[in-house]
Structure 1
Amino acid sequence: MQYRRPDALSKKDAPCWHPVEMMPLDELRKLQDEKLVEQMAYLKGRSEFYQKKFADAGVTFDEIRTVEDLQKLPFTYKTEIRESLHAKPPFGLHLAADRKDVFQMQASSGTTGSPSYVALTEDDAEMWHEMDARCFFAAGIRPGDMSLHAFAMAKGFVGGLPISQSMQYMGVVDIPIGADGGADRLLRAAADLRPRVLAGAPNFTMFLAEKAPEILGVEAKTLGVEVVLVGGEPGGGIPAIREKIEKLWGAKCCEMLGGTDMGVAYWGECHHQQGMHMVAPDYIITELLDPETEKVIPFTDGAEGELVYTAIGRQANPLVRFRSGDHVEVLGTTCACGRTGPKVRCIGRTDDMLIIRGANVFPSAIQSVITGMVPETNGVMRVYADFEGHTSQGALKVLVERGPARSPADDAELKKSIETHLRNSLAFKADVRIVDADTFEKPGAVKVALTLRQLPENLR
């Protein structure tokens, strides 16, 4: 496989990376139906995992002829994938390609349990790069650009090597330092090389910008970055956080969304910044699931639900009706950019959601409120879930860093103000504790965990 797609540089002035992104929906549905039939035939002959799963459900592969037919099938859950990996290491019972054809492996970050180890054939790896390139291109990144890599490069995380490979695939020169290299080295590379693009987790890109005056003696917005591409954790779609990133870097901030079991990124935000488009409908069929009824609902403006994915054209680890755990709101179904994929904003993950006196609360939504209260707050918070599971009848404890210029003598007033904002915005009762600015560890190579199950030593 070539590092760079042969025609990459010729795409610089194209309206999108691949025409399928702008394909009329009726034509796209025909394409998906055709590829779905081919994928079912492939699984019928090669997947021990789905042969058993379909038989147990009383459904045959030949019954699945259209996207609508997918609703006859059971869901695939993350726990099943972990059990499959344990039953037949290293790539599980759901490996549907010959081991000799496995070209590469990747791993999830493992933030919700043991990492998932994902096998890729050479064609699968190229598919991953193609999906990423569409996301990058939508954000305004172009062949010939230079990008400073600020996602973690260690631990096999897909934000590392695969992002670097995908940048090369689309003709971008990636500076592969990674968050693991530290703020000092990243910022000095930015000053030396003046990359047009910065790619990293939203909280870490903010942290980098805030450290620039200390490390370089100049503000981050003087370093020439024009596009900040973020993903891997909530934040890029939160208006207050996005605005802060853009102000600090003097650049446009766009986010992307994906997941290791299906790829790196396949939802990408265009320059209109009105939500992330599904840019890979020829590789992934996406259903929107009502969280209450677990029934499929249409992608219409304002709809909310969990994303469910079925791979098409995938060889090594193809999944069917995979419950992603990502809850999204549909922000639109048309866009001035011409892309026909629906636009979504990720509200949070099933694993993160807390139920407080019957109200569904995502920590990322709390973060949005707290960030919107800067400079009274420092924009930094943690939920302290001092109860078993995800449900509580008590007030939710929220730890919030006060703004650096505020006096601790005014904490009672700030506490009341935050609790009122949270109640009015998110309809739950909070018990807020104000803590010093910079109490919590600054963002680094790992994702920021917004929920704590134990208090840090300095707060006990």
Structure 2
Amino acid sequence: MNAPPQAPFHPNEARPWPELQALQLQLLHGQLRYLAQRSTFYQRKLAAAGIAPEAIRSLADLRRIPFTTKQELRESLQAEPLLGLHRAADPADIVQVQASSGTTGSPAYVGLTAADREHWAEMTARGLYACGIRRGDTVLHAFSMSKGFVGGIPIWQGITRIGAVDLPIGADGGVDRLLIAARDARPRCIVGTPNFLLYLATVAPDLVGRRATELGVQRLVVGGEPGGGIPAIRQGLQEHWGALCCEVMGGTDLGCVYWAEAEDQRGMYFVAPEFILAELVDPGTGDPVEWKEGATGELVYTSLQRQASPVLRFRSGDHVVVTAMGGPGGRTTPAIRCFGRTDDMLIVRGVNLFPSAVQDIVSAMKPLVGGVVRVLADFEGHTTQDNLKLLVERAPGADASTDAQVAAQVEARVRNALAVKADVRMVRHGFFDAPGAQKVALTLRKAPEFDR
């Protein structure tokens, strides 16, 4: 007989939706007054739109305010380093600075006051608790602990807020050290990126003489890149570790974790309703989309209690499907799965395509292939009239004699599932670097040097 679902970490996660909306409106009014007084960026933006903060009388009125885009924040950061024109707190009050991965240039930096830091830790704790981390658990930290990434120190802060024990080896500590720690400490939980945790499991027998299923792990908490919501990768993680896999999602501009999966495995629930207001919009038109199961759209966020680096109607670029409205333990907030990002989307002969969808297809074709794929987008911008170019690793032990036959099967599967023609080139197993501290990039803009 299954145990009843446990209550969430904080009562607000299960508060009746009308009460939450009333609280959000109250907090929104306070945040708008704060921005009008403290943020040069939003003073200018609201004035240009001809909108006074007091004109926003309901949550629906928020739609009158123009979106904030990533490009605007980049320009803000360049105009006034380090934290940009949208910094709204006195520099003397900022106690922590975090950085994005910076894969397209300089990292984006965000500041935290003491209150902001507390709110980040609270949101992260709620998310990790939803995923199953409990007081007294030992948690092996396999996200990168370096470069100011939000998966490092902020995850540690969330783990310790729960009362669990963080073992902060980090992906930067190396595969050997992580697996030795897993063997010695037998952590109940591991946190990390999905592809890296899957790689750790595959090399465990060679490095510590034990299968990952023998290391005592019961819960995997994954995030930071596509994979946690891809069925084939999720299944591989759970089989290799013998542990339940739960996914989390956040973003450097808003917080470390504010979406997290619970025991029902239906999707990631929103755990931060009094810290962040989340909207769902049509990615093409920007029109609002109603929160209901099955709805799809792009997530837009507004800070509700942020001091140092607040954002207002920030377009995240995350494209999601709503998988539930409320869930176990009395949860009242929506649950989602993220199926792609605006930055990653390609248009191949008129068809919108996310690289994560390609990864989903190829991962499900194991053991015919190794499961590792890269999209070669060697063209300007995001649009091409050529076929979709894919580089697919062979299955372990396979040789080039079967390449043509396997490539044809991958091309057929992609064509049937995504309605695009693909040109597949098979490469040796292990051709691409093993996952590590850096996020796995599914798209290559330049062809690699191929083996001769």
User: CA–CA distance in 1 between the matches of 2:274 and 2:338?
Assistant: 22
Residue aligning to 1:426 = 418
Contact kept, 8 Å, 2:145 with 2:172, in 1: the verdict is: yes
User: CA–CA distance in 2 between the matches of 1:337 and 1:15?
Assistant: 4
| 1:265 alignment partner, SS class | strand
Contact kept, 8 Å, 2:399 with 2:428, in 1: the verdict is: no
Residue aligning to 1:125 = 117
Instruction: Tell me the CA shift for residue 165 of structure 1.
Output: 1.7
User: CA–CA distance in 1 between the matches of 2:327 and 2:398?
Assistant: 43
2:165 aligned to which of 155, 158, 173: 173
Contact kept, 8 Å, 1:143 with 1:170, in 2: the verdict is: yes
1:395 aligned to which of 373, 380, 387: 387
User: CA–CA distance in 2 between the matches of 1:385 and 1:166?
Assistant: 37
2:433 counterpart of 1:441 = yes
Residue aligning to 1:222 = 214
| 2:182 alignment partner, SS class | helix
2:175 counterpart of 1:158 = no
Residue aligning to 2:304 = 312
Residue aligning to 1:198 = 190
User: CA–CA distance in 2 between the matches of 1:232 and 1:343?
Assistant: 18
Give 5+ residue unaligned stretches, structure 2. none
Instruction: Tell me the CA shift for residue 424 of structure 1.
Output: 1.2
Contact kept, 8 Å, 1:37 with 1:66, in 2: the verdict is: no
1:227-272 alpha-carbon deviations (Å, 9 max, x no partner): 0000000000001000000001000000000100001110000011
1:281 aligned to which of 273, 278, 287: 273
* Count of residues in Structure 1 that have an aligned counterpart in Structure 2: 448
The code of the aligned residue for 1:151 comes to F
Contact kept, 8 Å, 1:36 with 1:65, in 2: the verdict is: no
Residue aligning to 1:250 = 242
User: CA–CA distance in 2 between the matches of 1:25 and 1:362?
Assistant: 33
Contact kept, 8 Å, 1:239 with 1:368, in 2: the verdict is: yes
Residue aligning to 2:69 = 77
Residue aligning to 2:204 = 212
TM-score (normalizing by structure 2): 0.97
User: CA–CA distance in 2 between the matches of 1:340 and 1:377?
Assistant: 41
User: CA–CA distance in 2 between the matches of 1:102 and 1:193?
Assistant: 36
2:52 counterpart of 1:55 = no
Residue aligning to 2:291 = 299
User: CA–CA distance in 1 between the matches of 2:284 and 2:80?
Assistant: 34
TM-score (normalizing by structure 1): 0.95
Matches within 5 A, 1:299-448: 299-448=291-440
| 1:448 alignment partner, SS class | coil
The code of the aligned residue for 1:365 comes to A
2:20 aligned to which of 10, 24, 28: 28
The code of the aligned residue for 2:287 comes to K
User: CA–CA distance in 1 between the matches of 2:263 and 2:109?
Assistant: 33
2:107 counterpart of 1:147 = no
Instruction: Tell me the CA shift for residue 14 of structure 1.
Output: 5.3
The share of aligned pairs that are identical, in percent, is 55
Residue aligning to 1:110 = 102
